[in-house]
Structure formats: structure tokens, C-alpha cells
Structure 1
Amino acid sequence: MKIGISTCLLGIQCRYDGQHSKDKFVYDELSKHFEFRSFCPEGQIYPTPREAIRQVRINGELIIRTTNTKKDVTKEIVDVSKSLVDSISEDELCGYILKSKSPTCGMARVKIYPDGEGQSENVGVGVFAKELMEKFPLLPIEEEGRLSDPWLKENFLMQVFAYKDIFEFMKTQPTFGELVDFHTSYKYLIYSKSHKSYKELGQIVANHEKKTLEEVLALYKQRFLEAIALKGRTSNTYNVLMHIFGYFKKYITKDEKEEILTSLEEFKQHIIPLVAVIKIIKIYVKRFNIEYLERQKFLTPYPKEMALRSKVEAFK
């Protein structure tokens, strides 16, 4: 699986000051699961070290210029950013991690300076990041700094793996029956994102309007990508867990029911992490050989070694 990344986050000395911004989580953990394709718009056209650049607002117009010589380099930065984004195909990457606060790669809160005296405002978007998000609005994209938040990290990586799945699935030129199977495996993961999306995707698969296979697949792919881009919530996840519990509650003892329901409530109250509940559920899924649940991506959306559900803070 390929994931795009700002070059400096890999420990490569490409920043304007000759340094890097090596990110421990990216370098030590994500490198075990992904192949990186790195991008550095500034490094494509300027040597390292070099004069720093910043976004400046002059008479309402936003330009990019160097900090010391005040040279306007807007065209060069915009051109190289467009060129790099154009070199990426829709299904080449399954996600992207950007360098925060960078005038080229920051996805939000980039400093915009006034022309002269005055305070900067953290309201800008990096030039390359803007091009990337406009061309691929549903590509999973995050900044390295935000991935220190367990909730954002879990949502981002869940989206990355689902994004890869839908593109790989569509490449197989699936039949209606295979679409039903794919959708079935993602039902509860989608439900954990949005009940509205859950119902909408189900209606697309049901195809009551008798659309062609090509139309259904195109619409399903679009709505699926929109759904997985949503952030999961504790309340939705709790509802999914209750639905899953319903599959085997009639087969277990009163004490076992109480144990599971207590665990679900403790998850809802942010006392225990989701992984603790999932482990209990998987025991009963295996015990009663519930094939429908064994297929659910919700229970194993990414490699367990990532341990993304092991923190209470991973859900809000």
C-alpha cells in the first residue's frame, strides 16, 4: 500500500534550513505497513539550505515570497505544486500525510503575513496541500501533528484501509452479487460513521430504480468514499456493538449477557477502550460460528498490530 508524505517527515534534510522534521510515528510505525511516496514542492525547485518562504497578503491578494529578499515566487511554487499533484493518479495512493504549518504543505492554520507591520494570522492553506485536496477531495489526508490525537489517528487509518479496499474492489469489475458481498462486509463500519450513509448505501445496492451496473458502481463508490471520510463517534459505535450483541444474546447465559452489556456501557462512558470490547465479542462470534459477523470489517478494519483501538481517547 502506498501513502503520500511530505519528504521532511521521513528524516530527509530538505527543509529551507537544511534540517528535517522526522516524525517518529510515521517513520517507526507506519513504515511497517506502507510504502511511502514522498513529495517536497520547495525542494523540487530550490537547493537546501535556502531562503525561507511565507504566504503574504498584499492588497487582498495572497502571494508567496522569500523572507529576506522579498522575492515573489508565487508562480514557481504554484506551478511545481500543480505538476506534482497532476503526477498522482486517483488510485495510486491510499492516503497522504502533510507537514503541518508549512506554506506549501500545511492543510490548515498556515501563517499568512501582512505586507509590513502587523500580526500574522493562522488561517492559510499550503499551496501544494490546496491543490492536492481540490483534486482528490475524498483522499484520506492528515497532518503529522494531528496524528498525535488517538481519535484522529484511528479515523484516518481506518479511512486509509477502506479507501484502498474500494479501489481494489472496483478494479475487479465486480458483478451485482459481488457488490452485495462487499457492502455486507462494510455495513457496520459504515454504520459507525453515519446511520444516514448506512441507509443510503443500502438503497444504492438494492437498486430499486433498476440502474445499470456501471451506474450503481459509480454511485456506490462515491457515496462509500464520502461515508468513510466521516469521523466515527462513540454513540454510533455503541449502537453497532449493540446490534452485534443481538446476534448471540439468546445463546448465552444471564451472567454472560451482563458481562457484555457492562463492557459496552464502560466503553460508552470512556472507561475502557474499544479493543477490550471487541476481544470479548470475537470470542462469542467464534464460539457460535457467526459467519456474517466474522466478515465484518468493523471488527478488524486494519492490522491489529497498529493497536489504534487500545486507547480510550480513540473515540469521542
Structure 2
Amino acid sequence: MIDMMTAMLRESGLLEMWAWLSGWLALDARQLIFMVATPMFIAVTVWEYRRIRHDARLMDVGEAFRNFGLGAGYQLTELLFAGIIAFPVYALVYHYRLLDLELTWLTGLLVLIGVDICFYLMHRSSHRMRWFWAAHVVHHSSERMNFSTAMRQNATNIFNGNWVFYLPLALIGFNPVWIGVAYAMSLVYQFFIHTTLVGRLHPWVELIFNTPSHHRVHHGRNPAYIDQNYGGVLIVWDRLLGTFVPEDERNPPEYGITRQIHSNNLLRLWTHEYVDLFRDMRRPGAVMSRLKHLWMPPDWERTDKD
């Protein structure tokens, strides 16, 4: 089995590419981008801190450090495990690709758009399917919105499996390395929309792109804002699929989650929803009814009829 996988990796050209990428401190292309971008993230966060530090509703220094700690945990598990969990699956799918695509300005643009569509689907599923929400919830559990909130990620993401949403791109024929780079660039862009310092931008920008205004709505726990504005770089998918809500100055976002967790423990922040999920699954009932907790929305509760 291992020999067959190695042969497929070599035949697809990914084995040599992986060896080249992993030669730099064992980092893949995504991690290289994140590592380069992290000092910029820190600098921008410090700049923002100097402007909002006197408002505890917007900035808490201790929480900001925890957010970067959560982000470091996410990057560490991605670095250690992506190559042995996700990459072999991408290599297998890419081996059976439908098209042989060369990297051009057109295919580069198409992979960026494709990744953004897949991100929308993944992000929407991360809110509407509890298994994926169990990993994503940590990103929403802060009651503040600032640049450090963007770093608030879950170390379990690589095990949670949300990377499967991008596999269709590899099956079409987009090189997994391109997909990883496009994904990393999307996350870098999204870092900059986690702020209250930027108001609404030009109407044409607000029409096409995800902006701080749109993303503040996404982080709001106000009834009108919950599960809206899933877009990554582009907001057009939300507009087309009925999940777009504009920010209303008369209804400012209240940040956090409906079942707010108050903890400074990184491990608990990463795992509390998994604990609640498996506790609900342990309740007596038919096996299929108990399994429903995995794919039903986070607020779904089992009844005797289920």
C-alpha cells in the first residue's frame, strides 16, 4: 500500500514538489506564507491596540495574547500533521485528476475563485453541522472584534476534516500546492477584516468583497446576524445564495456565541464543544438518532421522536 502511494506521488510529480517544499524547515507552502505574514499580523495588531486600548469592549491584552496562542497551536498541528493526514489524500485525488492544468494567469485566477467557493461551502457547513462547528466555535467565542480575533483558531482543525471541502479542486486538476497557496492567501486577506476601526468602504467594494463591515455581522450573535456572511474574500456567494445581511448601525453587532464560554484555558477553548457534542451523543436513544448530532445544526436538540 505504501509502495503504491509512493508511486502515485512520484508519477503525479507531487513527491518531488513535496520534498522541495519540506526541505525548508519542513514547512509546506501554506505554512511558509503564514510564517512570513505572522510578524505583519503582530505589527498591525499592535497598531490597532494603540488606538483601542482604552476601550475594554474592544481590546483586552490578556485575551489578545491568548488569541495568538490559539493561533500558534493551530499552526503547529497543521505543520506537524497536514503532511501525513491531508496531503496523501490530496495526492491520491490529484492522481486521478480529470484535467492536466498548467499554471497560467487564467488557472491561477480560477484556483483563487475555486478556493473561495469551497471556503464558502466549508464555512457555511462549519456553522450548520455540529461536528465542524466544534472546531470553528473557538473563532467565534471572543466577545471582542479586533485583529487578534482572526488568530483565534482551533488546533483540532486538521483532525476535524474541513480540508475535504477543497478536494474537488484537486480532482478537477488544480495542483494541491496551488490550492494550499490560494487558501493561505485567502486567510491572510481575512485577517484584515477582523476590526472595528474600518467603517464601510466604497459601495462597489462592499458589493463584491468581504469587508470589515460584512464580517462584523458574521461575528455578531444578534438574532438577525447569526449564520450570515460566510464569504472569505468575496461576498458575492452570500448575495447569490441568500446568506447576506448588511451591517445595521441601529443594531450594532454583539460579539460572541449564544452559549458563551468564559475560560482562559486554551485546551478548554479548543475542546469544549466536542465535550458537549459527545455528551449529547451519549444520551440514550437509537444509534442513528445519536449520530444525528454530528451533522445537525449546533442548536438542534434530540426529542423522544428522534
Tell me the TM-score normalised to structure 2 length: 0.26
Larger Rg: 1
Structure with the bigger percentage of helix: 2
Q: Could you say which structure has the greater relative contact order, defined with CA pairs below 8 angstroms and 6 or more residues apart?
A: 2
Tell me the TM-score normalised to structure 1 length: 0.26
Structure with the bigger percentage of strand: 1
